[in-house]
Amino acid sequence: MTVLFRHPRIWTGDAETRWTTGLLVDDAQLVAVGRQEVLRDHVGPSQVVDLPGTLVIPGLHDAHIHSASLARGLAGLDLRAASSLHEALEMVRRRAGEGSGSEWLFGSGWNSNAWDGAGTLDRQALDAATPDRPTALSSLDGHTMWVNSFALRLAGITRHTPDPVGGRIERDAAGEPTGILRERAAVAIQTIQEGGAGGALEPLLRRCQEVLLSVGLTSITDFDGEDARAAYLAMRDSGHLALRVTKSVPAAALDAAIAQGRATGDGDDWVRVGPVKLFSDGALGQRTSHMCHDFHGAEGNRGIARLDTDQVAALTRKALRARIAVATHAIGDQANATVLDAYAKVRSETASALRLRIEHAQHLRPADVRRFAELGVVASMQPAHCTSDIDLVETLLPQHDVVSYGWRSLLNTGAALALGSDAPFGPDSPVAEPSPMFALYAAVTRRRPDGTPAGGWQPQERLTMVEALRGHTAGSAYADGDERRKGSLVAGKLADFVALDTDILDEQMMAHEPGRIHDTRALATVVGGEIRWQAG
């Protein structure tokens, strides 16, 4: 059935039309875009929908999200509110008392960088709170796991367990594991969680899907495991999937994906194969991002290199030959240089049109900024990381000659920019609400939610709202190689759009009340021409 959606202010995201008042939809796609009074003649009286709010925009696309982790976080213990080790342990103790037997207790969100410093983060502290239940708590950035002795035993991690490549088991003076597992050292715990100890994933993802739709997301590019892929395929087949998913291939599953014949872009409008996800380094907050120089106050520590240039190149070459695109996590300036060097080597050998991406691209050597555009590498970035990391950058990298969160610098060179949240690991995003509005606010203001610092941190890197919106719509679609179907409201594309309660494209509001962007809410989310979520 052909349906006309009307609104006095629809921003199409298209350079030619820009603004319109009518969207004509048939069979899940846009068949015409124009003045609603002209399009009205194509439908009957019962086939007109007046959209709510003050502004309609193309459906928002999170270019980097961990939806399975987000879904589990909705059910697990959320430690974001803890302001000290003592407070975190009290929260763990209370949750442990709610369970029974020796079932696993999983949680996430602790941030020791923001704690008062009293006490030691180790397995003994956690043992006192949960002596009888295996407990595993992921850090705010997802790059460190804090576990108790019970969990170490079940995972088979002892004093004799060697550090894995790209990971580190922290040890005490006697050589015993402290309970802090960094980077790939946490894989054994993650495998247990994904193997069923964390609970059935599909019902959790259905609940999470409602959250994603409620904040205006119509598409996501997911970077979690194969269990998430299986759950999304099951949701699609049962008719319960209501947003579009591009599902990445974990590096550990690359060989299996190749054997199965998976290729980037395969699938349908609901679930498509995405890039393989590689890791070059860790995270800034845990001092595991790979830097060119030592962290301030930590002589000899330049982070962790999970892959070197030759390894990234070999995996990229292997993936492209199998028609699988590549996305590599890189936060530190050395990690980004490593990945760019590897991509340059592979680009000189192949003419593959598949997209190469760097996820996060947080800290760059000035000379590397231009290389993104020169090599055709997509910068997939998360603006909320910038505003939450201001203090960390100034503390850990005060003498480093780096371009940090350089969205403007990258755009000025012609690089492609895709925006996302990294939820639930986006520090500025509550686990229950990975709102794209947090990213848009950070991108255009470079301020924290409380409005500090005045004028924005390193304000020369701010984006305009139109640029930020394009990064969260057309830019994310381009990163996935799906720009012909998504990212703007033009005839022939999918009928995905969202109605907002605030006109974030109002220049006067932007100039005088930028904080309203952060608080903007979706009122209706339309996917495939159907209202999939609507505010009550």
CATH code for the domain of 163 = 3.10.310.70
- Angle between helix axes 201-214 and 67-75 (nearest 10 degrees) is 100
CATH of the domain at 46: 2.30.40.10
Domain co-membership, 160 together with 285: no
Domain co-membership, 290 together with 437: yes
Q: Which residue has the higher pLDDT, 292 or 427?
A: 292
Q: Give the whole-number percent of the chain exceeding pLDDT 70.
A: 98
Q: Please report the pLDDT score of residue 54 as a whole number.
A: 98
- Examine residue 486 and state whether it is found in any structural domain, yes or no: no
Domain co-membership, 7 together with 22: yes
Considering 197, 232, 265, which residue would you say is the last residue of a domain? 197
Tally of CB atoms within 10 A around 292 = 17
Tens digits of per-residue pLDDT, 319-353? 999 999 999 999 999 999 999 999 999 999 988 99
Q: Please report the pLDDT score of residue 426 as a whole number.
A: 65
CATH of the domain at 231: 3.20.20.140
How many structural domains is the chain composed of? 3
What is the C-alpha to C-alpha distance for residues 444 and 451, in angstroms, rounded to an integer? 12
Contact predicate 442/386, CB 8 Å: yes
What is the C-alpha to C-alpha distance for residues 521 and 506, in angstroms, rounded to an integer? 15
**Does position 139 have pLDDT exceeding 90, yes or no?**
no
Domain co-membership, 123 together with 265: no
Its domain, for residue 93, covers 69-197
pTM greater than 0.75 (yes/no): yes
Domain co-membership, 187 together with 204: no
- For residue 137, name the pLDDT band (cuts at 50, 70, 90): very high
State the chain's mean pLDDT as an integer. 94
DSSP, residue by residue, 139-161: ETTSSEEEE-HHHHHHHT--TTP
Contact predicate 241/211, CB 8 Å: no
Contact predicate 62/220, CB 8 Å: yes
Domain co-membership, 53 together with 122: no
Q: What's the number of CA atoms in the CB half-sphere (13 Å) around residue 162?
A: 3
- Examine residue 489 and state whether it is found in any structural domain, yes or no: no
Domain co-membership, 193 together with 204: no
C-alpha torsion sign, points 127, 132, 138, 139: negative
- Examine residue 247 and state whether it is found in any structural domain, yes or no: yes
Instruction: Quote the distance between the C-alpha of residue 131 and its chain's center.
Output: 34
Considering 148, 180, 197, which residue would you say is the last residue of a domain? 197
Considering 479, 508, 524, which residue would you say is the last residue of a domain? 479
Domain co-membership, 472 together with 360: yes
Domain co-membership, 32 together with 21: yes
Residue 345 pairs in a beta bridge with: none
Q: Please report the pLDDT score of residue 428 as a whole number.
A: 54
What is the C-alpha to C-alpha distance for residues 294 and 298, in angstroms, rounded to an integer? 7
- Examine residue 395 and state whether it is found in any structural domain, yes or no: yes
Domain co-membership, 26 together with 94: no
Domain co-membership, 285 together with 301: yes
In 251-353, which ranges are E strands?
A: 271-279, 326-330
Whole-Å CA distances, 498 to 55, 110, 126, 503, 528 = 8, 33, 44, 12, 12
Tens digits of per-residue pLDDT, 31-44? 999 999 999 998 98
DSSP, collapsed to helix, strand or coil, labels residue 94 as: helix
- Examine residue 128 and state whether it is found in any structural domain, yes or no: yes
Domain co-membership, 303 together with 385: yes
**Which residue matches tokens 């850090």?**
139
